[in-house]
Amino acid sequence: MKRLFLTLATVLISVSAMADEGMWLLPYLQKMNIKDMKSKGCRLSAEDIYSINKNSIKDAIVIFGNGCTGEVVSDKGLLFTNHHCGYGSIQALSSVEHDYLKYGFWANNHSEEIPAPGLTVRFIRQISDVTAQIVGNIPANAAEVERNKIVAENVKNLQKELKKQNEGKEILVKSFFGGNQFFAFVIETFKDIRLVGTPPSSIGKFGGETDNWMWPRHTGDFSVFRIYADKDNNPAEYSKDNVPYKAEMYLKVSLKGYKEGDFAMVMGFPGSTQRYMTSYEIDDMLSVSNPNRIYIRGERQAILKKDMAASDKVRIQYASKYARSSNYWKNSIGMSRGLKRLDVKSKKAAQEAEFTAWASQFTLADDPRYAEALPLIKGAVEGKSAIDHDLQYLQEAFLTAVEIITPARMVDKVMNSPQTISGDGATKRLVAQLKGWYKDYNTATDRKVAKRMLAIARENMKVLPSIYEVIDRDFGGNIDAYVDNLYDNSIFADEAKILEAVQSHTSEQILADPVQALRQSVVVMYNKLTKERKPFVAQYAEGHRLYIDGLMKMHPEKAWASDANFTIRLTYGNVLPYTPQDGVRYSYYTTLKGVMEKENPENPVEFFVPEKLKELYAASDYGRYANKRGELPVAFLSNLDITGGNSGSPILNGKGELIGLAFDGNWEAMSGDVAFEPELQRCIGVDVRYVLFIIEKFAGAKWLIDELEIVR
């Protein structure tokens, strides 16, 4: 195994990246990327971008919340990210009386900045290659189960060691290249994050669901937050005594703009790609996981959308939930379309045929056993396909969609016996959690969703949860009657009743609630299927690891990039237009003129233009944010390799200055997470000049502009 590690390291550092594809690991920029980056127009050194000895661009990039990227843009901890990344916090802080989603919000000074409970910002303080420590002692002939045990034990021991050296910080050890390489990340988490400003959704979500993943785009997808620390500049829980974080590294903001062909790069936290996916997995995605997700979420979203349109209260309650659901729903539609249209399966099959021929030189007695890689993957995918189908329904249609199950789970977590709820402190925390949850819950909406979800689950699952036996026995198979009885009689359908039960410690009533029977039937089946799935997961992991290792050895001349796994990466390329089909060529940027052209009174939810924005456009009152042609740029394209998690990532020019915020990919290349399409794949970003224009001219928050270091 030590021999394998050394070979892998040689493959990784012996070549230069020669394509726009790649979410590159920062420690290897000097050896793998910087020469190619400079040829494309980068004017920085690798040390300027990532350094273990001094502040670098890496130190201004953060994990925002649980699934986005943000960037520090001032020495006072001011932070930019996407509007859709801040959306959950903006929604949580909104009410019918203070509708920040509809009208936006802008603080006039530090004292008006609003704490966002539960929101965190995480800095990567240190990165180290720990492959030798994790796999160096694995016997060459170790079976996969034994290998996994050794890896898990080594990870545990390394985390303990690094925690001693980095008190108060999180230690994350992640695998790369299918488990062939490992990196350790030292992370510092700040928990006092405050909302500074957000445009109204008519700007931040302009185009809505219709324009999502589409180009041309005219969305001002940004929001502004601030990191707070204690008086010693250390992370701290929220306190009125906390002060703005003193950032040693922050991004300068460029008003120079860009032209076609200019160098651009993104640093951020891409969530997940499957570039080493096989043709067998593509078949499964197209026939099982994507159709299920599209159907289940589509049915639920139709109900939510109708109720949201009928009530401002419900609209605010479900805005973030709907946005999270619909984003990946549309992604799945585009992914399936792209995989078929670009015939990605055939390309994967061709690679597999080449690999099979190459692997035939190795006997089954050899280590590694490359010839076994693809058969292992194929068998695992086929073995778990039916299990995954039902698991997806349990997760999507029950545990996510039927919301009344959630408070039952929350209560169960703090119950330490059938008789009582654990301690007064635990009770107080639970009450606070429940109040926060019920703020964004509407019983009538959930009742409608539950009826539809239980119906489609019955129609499509191969094996049903045991609750259907109750439905058949006690309600003659009538799902609507069962659901009505459930919501009419459950204390979880009424916030006041469940809070009273929790505070009075009447656990018998909680345990006997009909929602518990529903939840238990789902959880029991979910756990059973998960256990049945485990052998196939292990089999797949072994095949996947061997396949990736073999591919890199088969083509040692190629620059290989690891799949995204929500660790910090850099991607680079150029500002470029694209041609999606014959006779159509898209420009590489859009302007405010397009916002006015898209206004649609018949679709005011998605294409409403605020009156003040119209006035600024009519007067061409763009200040210093117009381009040389007198236009106000809104969004632009670059051929950067991004995916979910990169939302909010800074788009930087060759000097490392901020020119935009990445917020989307393009519809024609939705299969890009599986196969990068260099001629089609584009990163869509909001131009930082539009961001600053909205802050200063539209919102009148010039004090924030004055805080930035702006260069021309």
CB 446 within 8 A of CB 402: yes
Cβ proximity of 18 and 26 under 8 Å: no
Q: Which of 224, 151, 160, 170 is nearest to 194 (CA)?
A: 224
CA distances from 465 to 393, 520, 523 (A): 11, 9, 9
Burial of 497 (0-12, 13-18, 19+ CB in 10 A): middle
In this structure, which amino acid lies at residue 30?
Q
Residue 377's CB is within 10 A of a number of other CB atoms, namely 25
Residues labelled as active-site residues = 84, 221, 647
Inter-residue contact 151 to 139 (CB < 8 Å): no
C-alpha distances in Å from residue 147, one per residue of 181, 539, 551: 14, 12, 21
Round to whole Å and give the CA distance between 75 and 423.
43
User: CA-to-CA distance for 228 and 244, rounded, in angstroms?
Assistant: 4
Asked whether 446 and 304 are in contact (CB, 8 A), the reply is no
Residues in the chain, how many?
712
How far is C-alpha 444 from the chain's CA centre? 30
Owner of token pair 């802008």: 106
User: Which of helix, strand or coil describes residue 193?
Assistant: strand
> Please, are residues 378 and 578 in contact by the beta-carbon 8 Å criterion?
no
Omega before 216 within 30 of 0, i.e. cis: yes
CA distance 148 to 590: 50
Q: Which two tokens stand for residue 87?
A: 């959306």
